[in-house]
Amino acid sequence: MEKLSDSAGGDSTAADSPDARADSGCPAKDCGNITYHNEGLRKATHLFAFVMPAAYVFLSKSAILWCLIPVTMGIVLCDTARLRGWSMWKLLEPLWGPLIRPQEASTYTGASYIMVATVLTVSLFSKPAAICALAFIIVGDSAGALVGRKWGAHKYGRRGKSIEGSAAFFLSSLIPVIAVAQMPFWIGICGASVAAVTEALSDEIDDNLSVPLVSGLVLHLLLRIADTP
């Protein structure tokens, strides 16, 4: 998940220097903890990504990849422009800049990671596994971050994640499990559990990348074992 207060409501790590943050496109005034309002906006854009697994319900693997790959390349290009200080970033900074977290100041944002993860997840795993795995990080991340940041009283781990945020991640991940008809409920529960644990343990690796790939792999294997398409 994207890291400032992660999906489990963790606190931010030590901020980078003001010069480094400014050079990377993160406005100085916003380079502390981003406000809860901006956190909500960030998660609103995150939820918009739900269009990807939703569209995959109706499209073939090749068709969805034809859509995803150009979008992924565009987002990674924008992120690279921010990191390299290219002039095109100046056009995007007023919209994107306030949503950038301190620890993303000198690295790629969660948007790039989740798009790359989406392409890999769709490419590698069966359709039901990919749809659920992507929904876990999109829905679970949004619920976990907002609940954890506002009501996360019981902290754990090096990044100060919360039990409340992790619980919200897991419970909200059950929504796509119920919605995906091809997914036996017990397999979906296993996938949601793996996604929540992976998010909780993802300190060094961005969970936008780790959650869909790890949970997608587990779901794919369990569906194969259960002989479900």
Q: Which of 45-49, 106-110, 179-183, 195-199 has the lowest mean pLDDT?
A: 45-49
Any domain includes 2: no
| 155 bridge partner residues | 162
User: pLDDT band at 9, cuts 50/70/90?
Assistant: low
pLDDT of 117: 95
Residue 3: inside a domain: no
Identify whether the C-beta of residue 82 lies closer than 8 Å to the C-beta of residue 25. Answer: yes
- Asked whether residue 1 is assigned to any structural domain, the reply reads no
E strands in the chain:
155-156, 161-162
Give the integer Cα–Cα distance in Å for 148 and 140: 11
pLDDT for the residue numbered 5: 39
pLDDT tens digit string along 52-98?
888 998 999 999 999 999 999 999 998 999 999 888 888 888 877 77
Integer Cα distance of 83 and 50 in angstroms: 26
Q: Is residue 188 part of a domain?
A: yes
Say what the pTM is: 0.76
- Taking the CA atoms of residue 162, residue 163, residue 167 and residue 173 in that order, the dihedral angle to the nearest 10 degrees is 40
Any domain includes 164: yes
- φ/ψ of residue 162, rounded to 5: -125, 150
- Using the predicted structure, report yes or no on whether residue 207 has a pLDDT greater than 80: yes
Average pLDDT over residues 177-205: 88
5 occurs within a structural domain: no
| Number of domains the chain contains | 1
Task: Choose between 100 and 69: higher pLDDT.
Answer: 69
Reported confidence tier of residue 112, pLDDT bands at 50, 70, 90: very high
Q: Is the pLDDT of residue 4 over 60?
A: no
Residue span of the structural domain in which 212 resides = 18-225
Percent of the chain residues topping a pLDDT of 90: 39
Q: pLDDT at position 144, please?
A: 81
pLDDT (average), residues 186-194: 94
| Dist. CA 119–CA 107, nearest whole Å | 20
Mean pLDDT of 24-53: 58
Alpha carbon separation from 42 to 62, 82, 212 (Å, rounded): 29, 17, 19
The more confidently predicted of residues 60 and 154 is 60
pLDDT of residue 40: 62
4 in a domain, yes or no? no
Domain annotation covers residue 51: yes
